[in-house]
Structure formats: C-alpha cells, structure tokens
Chain A
Amino acid sequence: MKVLVPVKRVIDYNVKARVKADQTGVDLANVKMSMNPFCEIAVEEAVRLKEKGAATEVVIVSIGPAQAQETIRTALAMGGDRGILITSDADLEPLAVAKLLKAVVAEEQPGLVLMGKQAIDGDNNAVGQMLSALLDWPQATYASAIEISGSAAKVTREVDGGLQTLDVDLPAVVTADLRLNEPRYASLPNIMKAKKKEITQKTVADYGVDVAPRLTVVKVTEPAKRSAGVKVESAADLVSKLTTAGVL
C-alpha cells in the first residue's frame, strides 16, 4: 500500500508571529520556517507503517513556494521515498489545497492519506476532512493510534471527553494528533541520502483545478494586549486581591 503524506512549510512553532504595520498579514520576511509539527508526526507515522511492512512506499507532497522543497527534503530524510512539489506563490485556501490533493490522489492512487490535523499558521483544521469528503473516502481525524489490518484501519481518536476508536475502510484519510508518535530527527547520512531522492516539480496549472480564493482578507490585526499584572507577595495577598476583583 502506498501512503501519501501532505506536508506544509510554516513559520517555526517557537517564533511569535508579528502582524505587519499595514495590517495586510503576518510578517514572514526573514522568519525561520519549518515543517508544520503535525505534518512531522504524519511523516513519522507513515515511515513507521513502512518499517512495519504495512506500507510499501511513502510519497511526500507539498504545495507552496519553491522553498517548500526544503520541507519535502526534510520528510525524505526522515524516511519518505519520493516527493512531489506543486509550486504556488499564492497562499492557497484549504478548499483549493484539498482539490489539488484530490488530483494528486487520482494520479498516485494511495491506499492511505496521512496528514496533520491542522497547520499552526492558518489554524483551520479543515484540509483532511475536505479531501476525504471530495474523495468520498472515510475519515479518521485527530488520530493518536493507527493499526492497519488488511483492507481497514483501526484508528483511536482524541475527542472531547476522551478517546474514540473507529474502524475505517481503506482507502481513507487519517489526520495526526500530537499523541500519535514522537517524530525522529533526520540523521546526517539520511539528510545526504535525501538529496538524491526524486522530487517531481509541478505547478498548480498542471492540475487544472479551480484554486480561486473564496475569502478576501480584509485586514490582519494584533489581538488586544493584556494590561500588565502585578506580583503578589503571598497566597493570602493573592486571595484578597482575587476577592476584590470579584472572581472568587
């Protein structure tokens, strides 16, 4: 079974995003970029499925600027077999990304699409569900455990209130939650080897998919700042301050 893993290049999770003064967006110039943390978890799980013999090939796909090639290389160094880069200078919406991925699925015919539950920039948490809907495949989101058995996958999901286990027919779309695994670090020899792995270059136009934006960003602003707080000296002092504030 072939596993397709979509990955996204995003602002590094440790960097605090700064809003541009003209309110057109977040300033990404000279900011450290990395693979979205949830995508790393998806890549790790796909590689583990291959190591267990449940998967035969792990194909990495990324849609974004030319630099997204670095993100694909990282995934190849973790154990991905080959990559597909669909270049786009526009910041595509989840609907457009899902449609492009559907076209990639049609070409590649994977048995499983494994991806992150959300990207930490847009915080949409939508692409996996939308891809699954467009393909009419079952979905298992927020996965914390995946077990492939024959033509189905048993997936434990993190839901409000606890955990739920579903059995989904393959092919399916599964999105990874934080607890699914701990992604490995790529070793130097593997980083070198990854440079030789194939990355197919495509453009959005190659797929003939309508990617026109449906949402117009009117403005991007900074959230209201909290006013500076005070340090209290003791627990008793704290209780009296909270009582005065009316929250106890």
Chain B
Amino acid sequence: MAVLVIADNDNAHLRDGTHKTVTAALKLSGDVDVLVLGSGVSAVAAEAAKIAGVRKVLTAESDALGHGIAEAQADAALALAGNYDAILVPATAGGKNFAPRIAAKLDVAPISDIVEVVSADTFVRPIYAGNALETVQSSDAKKVITVRPTAFPAAGEGGSASVEAVSGADAAKTRFVSEEMVKSDRPELAAAKIVVSGGRAMGSAEEFQAVIEPLADKLGAAVGASRAAVDAGYAPNDYQVGQTGKVVAPQLYIAVGISGAIQHLAGMKDSKVIVAINKDADAPIFQVADYGLVADYKSAVPELLSALTAAGK
C-alpha cells in the first residue's frame, strides 16, 4: 500500500508534526510520499526530502494554498488520492480543517487524532476529552487519518527523496483577508520540551507576563495557558492547552495557578513530568502532578527562579 502524508508548514519551514506523522505512516507502509501544500515552498520541500523513509516529495502551489484555505488544500490532495491507500495529516488546527473535507469527497469515514497504529486498518484514538481510548477498525478501502503528533516520535533525518511539482488548486468561493499572528521567540508550544502554563489565578495579563514569562525564559520553555486565562484575556487564544486548544506532551509541564479541569488535563496529561504550583491543596491538578507545591504562586515562582539560579540552571 502507498501512504500520502500532507506536511504541516508555514510556506518557509516544515513543522515538527510532519516528522511525527511520517513515523505513523511508516507503521502502515514503506511507501510514504509527502505532499507539501503552500506557495513558495521549495525550502519546505527540501526539508521534507531529508526525512528518513520518505520515498518522494510532491509540491502543490497556489495563492489559496499559501493561505491554508481548506477547499484548495482538499482539492489538491484529492487530485492525488487515486494513487494512495491512506492519507495521513498532522492533527493541528490546519490539518483538522481540511482532512475531513478529503474524507467526505472520498465517501470514507475520517479517523481523527490517532495515538496508535494497531494495524493497517485499526487505530487507537482518545475520546471524551481523553478519558477513554477507542480502538476502531475501518472498513473503508481508503483511509483519511489525522495523527496526534505528540503520540509519535519524530522520524529521523538522512533521507534523500526526489521532489516533484504537481498542480495546485484554488478556492473560488473563499478569499483570504488578513492574518494576525502572535509573535514569539520562544519554542513552539506543541513541540517544546518544557512548557510553563498559567491559569486564572494570575488575575491580569500584566501579572501573567510578569510571572509566567520569566520562568519560561529561564527554562527555555514555551508558554501555555488554561482556558480561564485565555477567556479572561491574560494570554492569546493560541496559548490554550486542552481538549479544544493544543495537546502537548513535553518532558516537563509546569502548571501555575491552574485548577486542573477535565478539559485542561486532556491537553497535557501525557507530559512526562507534571509539576503543579497551586495554593489550593485540593485542586484536581494535584491528582495528576508528579510533584506538587502547595503555595501561592506569588512567593513560589520567585523562589523557584532563585532555586534554579542556585542550581546553576
């Protein structure tokens, strides 16, 4: 069987989720091609060609693809679908946006957010905010699957796949107007080794920045937030960790002033080590935390910063 992986990229760089999706794809078949959608993506294609195990890289370019418009993305993939038995897409906001369109056009059931490949037609995926794992077997001839990147290791480098251009696609009924991206020099949240997240307890955007950001910078960590912190305007939407935000699984997750609602845990409970700093000893976050510090963040975070300095970090 042949598998097509659709790369996650921002027209300039390949995102980490692509390498992880290739790992999932290689469990299905040795014949894995990567499709790069966008505009001006030659650098992205070159990065994709280096992923170990990739047979061929295809590039499709157009204005609509450069802006990540779902209709164009699905159409470009559908033009190639005849050659593949499975199409795998990283389960990012971008991937989840167009993958179900491909499935509907192919008249197959999409399989969302898989965390394990059991066999070529059987997969495991979390349901109910990660409180249950469902093993499903697909009877469709073609599979359209989104892959949870945090559940798979990144495929290595060292490949030398050929790069080939295929035709792009446009979206007649949808026009790009503008975008407003959050600027950050910190590591990308979904791929960071350490994540420091703040919750409602911060009380204001200024306090959030004053408490969470220095700690994140000290640790070289990405910044996350609970829904409460995002809803209250303390942090941008893009920082939200949880069932409906980003799912992360870093080496170390530090939750500051976060109670640990079901929906938040869904986004971080696969982290290797979880630390909770909360003044409420009964907060649910302590039930999943490996190390808990019952203290007011106002004193605990500065103490943590000096303890880190003292330890030479």
Residues of A within 8 A of B (CB): 11, 13-14, 16-19, 26, 38, 93-95, 98, 117-118, 120-134, 137-142, 144, 154, 158-169, 172, 177-179, 213-223, 226, 229-232, 234-236, 238-243, 245, 247-248
Using A123-B127, A178-B227, A231-B292 as known contacts, say yes or no to A218 and B137 having CB atoms under 8 A apart.
yes
Contacts of A144 in B (CB 8 A): 237
- Bound-state CA distance A154–B272 (Å) is 41
Q: Are A165 and B177 in contact (CB under 8 A)?
A: yes
Q: Are A167 and B175 in contact (CB under 8 A)?
A: yes
A232 touches which of B181, B263, B293, B308 (Cβ 8 Å): B293
Contact of B289 with A by CB under 8 A: yes
- Are A132 and B101 in contact, with the CB atoms below 8 A? yes
Is A165 a contact partner of B178 (Cβ separation < 8 A)? yes
Contact A13 B303 (CB under 8 A): no
CB nearest to B273 among chain A residues: A247
Instruction: Give 24 pairs: A residue, B residue, CB < 8 Å, sorted on A.
Output: A13-B262, A14-B262, A26-B127, A95-B108, A123-B243, A130-B103, A133-B102, A138-B171, A158-B237, A159-B94, A160-B238, A162-B180, A162-B238, A168-B173, A215-B137, A220-B135, A221-B132, A223-B131, A229-B286, A230-B290, A231-B294, A232-B292, A234-B303, A239-B308
The prevalent SS among residues of A at the interface is: mixed
Interface 0/1 of B64-86, CB less than 8 Å to A: 00011111001000000000000
| Minimum CB–CB distance for B23 against chain A, Å | 20
| CA gap between A132 and B69 in the complex, in Å | 13
Q: Which residues of B contact A17 (CB under 8 A)?
A: 127-129, 131-132
Q: Which of chain B's residues have a CB closer than 8 A to the CB of A214? A: 108-109, 138-140
Closest to B174 in A: A138
Q: Which of B71, B137, B138, B293 contacts A238 (CB 8 A)?
A: B293
Interface residues of B in 215-266 (CB under 8 A from A): 219, 227, 230-231, 236-238, 243-244, 246, 251-252, 262-263
Given A131-B104, A163-B237, A234-B293, 11 further pairs, Cβ under 8 A: A17-B132, A26-B128, A117-B244, A123-B113, A123-B127, A162-B179, A162-B181, A165-B176, A166-B69, A215-B109, A239-B313
Docked pose: A241 CA to B129 CA in angstroms? 30
- Interface, chain B (partner A; CB < 8 A): 10, 67-71, 74, 92-94, 96-105, 107-113, 122, 126-140, 171, 173-182, 190, 194, 219, 227, 230-231, 236-238, 243-244, 246, 251-252, 262-263, 269, 272-275, 286, 288-294, 300, 303-304, 306-308, 310-311, 313
Is B180 in contact with A138, judged by CB distance below 8 angstroms?
Answer: no
**Most chain A beta carbons < 10 A, residue from B136, B176, B236:** B136
CB A3 to nearest CB in B, in angstroms, measures: 18
Q: CA of A112 to CA of B313 in the docked complex: distance in angstroms? A: 55
How far in angstroms is the closest Cβ of chain B from A247?
4
Query: A163, B244: Cβ atoms under 8 Å?
Result: no
Instruction: Decide: A138 near B290, CB < 8 A? Known: A144-B237, A215-B136, A238-B275.
Output: no
Q: Smallest CB–CB gap between A139 and chain B, Å?
A: 6
Q: How far is the CA of A239 from the CA of B300 in the complex (A)?
A: 12
Given contacts A11-B128, A158-B93, A178-B244, contact A221 B173 (CB under 8 A): no
